[in-house]
Amino acid sequence: MNTVYQIVVCAGIVPDPLQTLEPVASPSGPALKNEMMLPAVLDPWASHSLYEAANLAKHLPGSKVWLVSLGPKAKLQQVMMTVAQKVPFELVALDGPGGGFTEAAEVAAMLAEAIQAIPGLDKSKLLVFGGWESASRGAGATMQMVGERLGIMDQFQGVDELKIAADGSLEILERIEGGKHQISKCAGLPALLGWATGNLPEPKNNPQIGMVNMRTVMPALQKAKPVKFAGDGLSFVNVALPKQLRETRIVKDKSPDDVAKEIIEWIKK
């Protein structure tokens, strides 16, 4: 099979999940306390899609991977210093908000525009990858809207595995309700896949890959297009962590039905 793919991965950056995140109200709207000081990582959901894309390109000579990422340029640079050592890719950077207080439709519009601007893009060879969900933009709709704006009707969400048949068709393992999977088939490209966890481990750091990637990463960051969302002027009444509430009682000799009824009444209140 001599198929050559152009694989575009949409991946944002998020604060390291090991950090304590505290929402605050800023002059420009909701934000995280000391957000620019928090260490950042590539979105875990999107990371799987990047590793799957690189593995696919590795087994299909001539194929290429682009990483399209929207976030504060300083944070993107910090994250790329690590990510660039994992797998080969060419970065397309957008300098804009990286938090979870942005509208999915606006993010999708910016990502789709950046993808369409990639030189030499051929939709007959195009696979668009991304996270099924997101650690920051968890609307679960961003990738779907990216696909719609690109005119890609064949979309698959919750993907755990992708196989390429000898005739170039795609066999995709998708998660469905009830902890089950379904096998979907797609005759050809273009297609969009929102990845769940995939099947691949995180690649080890390879300084040689990092040096090759950084030759294009730094210029891409320097010319990152600034983006501004129309929703920047929105006002929020309040942003705060959910309050913890614990009410414990020790009751003996009560039937399960009575306990269930009491829990339901408590929830209703």
pLDDT at 125: 93
240-268 pLDDT per residue, tens: 666 777 777 787 888 889 889 888 988 88
pLDDT at 183: 94
Q: Could you state, in order of their start, the residue ranges of all structural domains in the chain?
A: 6-233
92-115 pLDDT per residue, tens: 999 987 766 678 888 899 999 999
pLDDT above 90 (res 147): yes
Share the mean pLDDT of the chain: 86
DSSP letter at 196 equals: S
pLDDT at 155: 95
Rounded Cα distance between 125 and 7, Å, is: 8
pLDDT above 60 (res 1): no
Write down the pTM of the prediction. Answer: 0.81
6-233: CATH architecture: 3-Layer(aba) Sandwich (3.40)
Residues 6+ positions from 156 with CB-CB distance below 8 Å? 172, 174, 184, 186, 191, 192, 193, 194
Question: Residue 71 phi/psi, 5° resolution?
Answer: 180, 170
